[in-house]
Structures are given as C-alpha cells and as structure tokens.
A and B are shown apart, each in its own frame.
Chain A
Amino acid sequence: MQKSIDNRAWFLVAPVFMLVAFNAILPLMTVVNYSFQDTFSNNQFFWNGAQWYVELLDPRSELGERFYGSLGRSLAFSAIILAIEVPLGMMVALAMPKRGAALAVCLMMMALPLLLPWNVVGIIWQLFARDNIGLFGWTVNAIGIPFNYTNSAISSWVVIVLMDVWHWTSLIALLCFAGLRAIPDAYYQAAKIDGASRMLVFLRIELPKLQRVLTIGILLRFMDSFMIYTEPFIVTGGGPGNYTTMLSINLVKIALGQFDLGKAGAMSIVYTLITLSVCWVFYTIITMREEKEGAA
C-alpha cells in the first residue's frame, strides 16, 4: 500500500507512545538508577559506580553465582521444552482432523490450556503431581519410581517441564496446523504422481512451507519460557533449594523479597539486554528471510 509521508501521524501515535513510555521507559530509568547506587535503607542513596555490575558478572561472588546459576537453568529449561514442544506440536498438527465437527472438538480441547490463568496452571499441576494427593505423583510412586517434587531435583524438573509442555504445546500445534492448511492440494497431488513416500512429503513439502510459522512459534516459546515466573513459582517456589529457580524467580526474590535495589537493578538491566538481543536476532532473521522471498 502506498503510504503517504506525514509527520502529523505522530498525533495518532502519541497516546500509545506515552502509555508505553510511562510503563517502559520510566521503570527502566528507575532501575538503571538503582543499579548504580547503594542504599542503607530509608531512601538514602549513595553512588556506587559499576560495583553492582561487577559483582553480578563475577561468578565467584554470591550474587554472581546466583545469577549465573539461574541464567543457566533458564537456558536449559528453554532448550528442553523447545526440544519437546516443537516436534510434538508438529506431530499433533499432522494428526489433527482437517475439517468438520471432529476438528471443532479438537480445537476446543487444545485451546483450553492456553486460556487458563497461569496460576491456575500451577495449581492444576500442584494438585496433579504431588505424591500424596495427585493422580500423577501417586501413580508414579505406585509403579515403583520414587517421585517427590518437593525434595528431588529431578522430580521437580520433570514436573515443570511436563507442566510447560502441557500448557503450551497447543500453541505450536495450532500454528503448524494453520500453516499446513495453507498448503494447496496440488502439492500433495503432484507428490502422489511423483511417487513420493510420506516421509519425503513431510520433508520436501510440509516442513519447508512451515518455516515461517515455526520461526514465530520458536521465538514466542523461547522468550516466554526464558522469562517464565508464575507456573514454576507456584508449584515448586523455586525449590527444592534453588534447583528450579529461574532467572525471573531469582530477580523477584532479590527485588521484592530482599528489597536489594542495587543488585536487582543491575540484574534487571543485564536480563533486559539479553532478551532484547535475542529478540533482535530473531527479528533480523525473519525480516531477512522475507526480503529474500520478496526478491524471488
């Protein structure tokens, strides 16, 4: 569409800009402020230079250790859930009915986990996975595998991974499903005539056509899982110990739990920089690919 150049459009954008600026820039400025200062309570601030950052990024300090620990856990968590959710979501999308009442029922059931408040998701899995009152927890123990997420690191990770898979796989599945529906029938007919096996149809036709939705899905899932807070917090509270303390949980503990403003500030800035860079990388990939396809 031909857009006209008109700087008066800023008036239309002004409300959004002010609202988001108030919610984004102002807090960030506050946080930057905190990160460079120290306080002994009662709002008396002293300039601390880059001390907090040094301490944060030093793996030998207590702060640094916690930071790198939670960073590592967040990255591991994101990697694990992506490795499960993407293939599983695709398999489900390939298995879904194509139209009719069966499709409607399927869509309704798959959409439900996506629309639950995140604390309810946490509660559901608390109730489901506890070894004394939960169907899952109790059954696993009954068949002989020791399972108690309140005192076992492995159990707690199993629970939070299963919970995230339960919660979000439908998103990937629905995105892939929409992508598959967009493939014209002629491709499948041509593949039949060419004698292609089911696997080749998947590799040579479906997978390439799903590239775009998969990139979006992976971006969304990576970002949301990297920044996850509520669900693991409700189920394990970050425990046992700090085995499931993700980056967000760690930050909130320091900021609102201990009110360590300086440390929280520094961690917030570094955290934001990490997410911004990842976001920028994905954004560049998507726009580069669209340019390549547009030029083709």
Chain B
Amino acid sequence: MTRRVTLFLYLLFLMLPLYWLVNLSFKGNMEIMTTMTLLPQQPTLKNYAYIFNSPEWLGGLLFSLGYVALNTIISLSVALPAAYAFSRYRFLGDKHLFFWLLSNRMAPAAVFALPYFNIYSAVGLFDSIWAVALAHCIFNVPLAVWILEGFMSGVPREIDETAFLDGYSLPSFFVRVFVPLIASGIGVAAFFCFMFSWVELLLARTLTNNRAISAIMTQAISATGIDWGLLAAAGVLTSIPGALVIWFVRNHIARGFALGRV
C-alpha cells in the first residue's frame, strides 16, 4: 500500500510543474501577473499564435532540429566503423583510445565554451548548424561508439567470416549483412544522440547568434518585462519532440525492461 502511495506522490510531483507550464501557456501575460488560478480564466491561444507567426521563432525551431539531425547523422556515420573496429579487432592503443573517448563524454561543457567560440569563428562556421552539430560530437560520438560496440559484440564473429568467405567486401558486408543485425542498436544510439543534442544549451548558445530556439526563448522580453505566457508556450512546443519520441518507443521501453536487460 505504501508503495502505491509513494509512486502516486512521485508521479504527481513530476506532473505538477508540467501542468503548470501548460496552464500558463494558455494565459495572457496580464492574467498571469495579476491572478493565481489553476485554470485559465480567459484562455487564449495568442502565445502560440505569436510563435507560429514569428519567423524568428519558427526559424529557431527549425534551426535546432537541423543541427540535432545533422549531429545524429554525423555521429552515427563515424561511430559505426569505429565501433566495429573496437568490437572485432585488437590494435595498438585500443584500450587507451576507448577510455579517452569515454572521458570526453564526461568532459565539462563549460571548459569548451570559450575555445569552441574561438575555433569555430576562426574556421568561419560560427552561427551555422554545422558548428553546433560538430561541437556536440564530442559527447555524442563516444556515447554512440560505446552503445554500438555493445550491440556489435552480441553478433558472433562467425557471421563476418562467413560473409567474407562468400565473397563480400567489408563495406558491402557491413551495409547488407551487418547493419540489419544491429538495427535496434543503431536505433538506441540514434535516440540517445538525438536526446543529448536536443537538450544541450550552453554550446548551442555559445556558437550561434541566438539562432537556436533555446536562445530565442531567452528573448521573450517585452516592454513590460518578461512575457511569461510566451515563454510557457515556447516551453510546451520544445517539449513536444521529446514527448513524441517517448510515445513512439513506448512499447520498446516496456518490453526492454520486461526482458530484464540493463
């Protein structure tokens, strides 16, 4: 019985701030500043309308989605061959290389803010999706290599050897035989790359002139102070990709846990 109560209280704790966010997004700023109500007295869509009608905000959303997608593609493309190498071969310095890669995942972003600012300006990529996409690789590539290596090690080497005996070259074996076998691993890696790139703020803001949606949101300041309603609506909108992802993988999450594998 105490279990159910604990769980219920915890889920309530999780949902309350989210509910408040949605609540405020449907209120005008005036109402927010002057009253405290659980539901909007004068519900309005004007916050959302502003965002959808503002090229700046929409541009920001697209910009963010752009660098996230780009980063996922780049990270996966370089991680796949590297993970294969770690899984199948021993080579000079392999253990140290692996540890070094993982340690980058743990590196403080703050340390890189300033040097990235200088470096990416120097190569002329400042304020482009490429800058953010490449910068996020420092976290996502090690993560992708780690995840993919785990899945690849679950595929026996005999499959590779059989394919080579059958005359496949390494690239065609990889694309036609191997990738379908680790499809779920690629899915997991892509999911995490997407997630970490989407949520990261510091580097995204440092490397752009406030083009990322997260940066634009900090500009929700009007003459009367911060426009809370607008901010709330923006918060709701940028939460939707995360919610959608969860919805689509809901069966896999439950099944994965039911199988008892960490």
Contacts and interface: CB of A to CB of B under 8 A. Distances in A.
The reply to whether A and B meet directly (CB within 8 Å) is yes
A119 B115 contact: no
Interface in B28-49: 32-33, 36, 38
Given A104-B250, A133-B24, A118 B231 contact: no
A17 B79 CA distance: 10
A166 B13 contact: yes
Contact of B103 (A26, A264, A276): A276
B260 A182 contact: yes
A189 interface: no
A120 B243 CA distance: 13
Given A15-B82, A24-B104, A256-B117, A95 B4 contact: yes
Nearest to A170: B14
A77 interface: no
B224 to A, nearest CB: 13
Contacts, number: 282
Interface residues of A, number: 94
Interface string B93-135: 0100101011110111111111111110000000000000011
Interface of A: 1-10, 12-13, 15-17, 19-20, 22-24, 26-28, 30-31, 88, 91-92, 94-96, 99, 103-104, 106-120, 123-125, 127-128, 132-136, 138, 166, 169-170, 174-175, 177-179, 181-182, 212-213, 223, 227, 229-230, 234, 247-249, 251-252, 255-256, 261, 264, 268, 271-272, 275-276, 279-280, 283
Given A13-B91, A27-B116, A118-B200, 13 more contacts: A4-B88, A12-B84, A13-B81, A13-B97, A26-B119, A107-B250, A115-B242, A117-B242, A120-B214, A132-B33, A181-B259, A272-B108, A279-B103
7 contacts: A31-B115, A92-B10, A115-B242, A124-B20, A135-B16, A255-B110, A276-B103
Closest 4 CB pairs of A and B: A115-B242, A27-B115, A248-B110, A12-B85
Interface of B: 3-4, 6-7, 10-11, 13-18, 20-21, 24, 32-33, 36, 38, 74, 77-79, 81-82, 84-92, 94, 97, 99, 101-104, 106-119, 134-135, 137-138, 141-142, 145, 153, 156-157, 195, 198-202, 206, 214, 217-218, 228, 231-232, 234-235, 238-239, 241-243, 245-247, 250-251, 253-254, 256-262
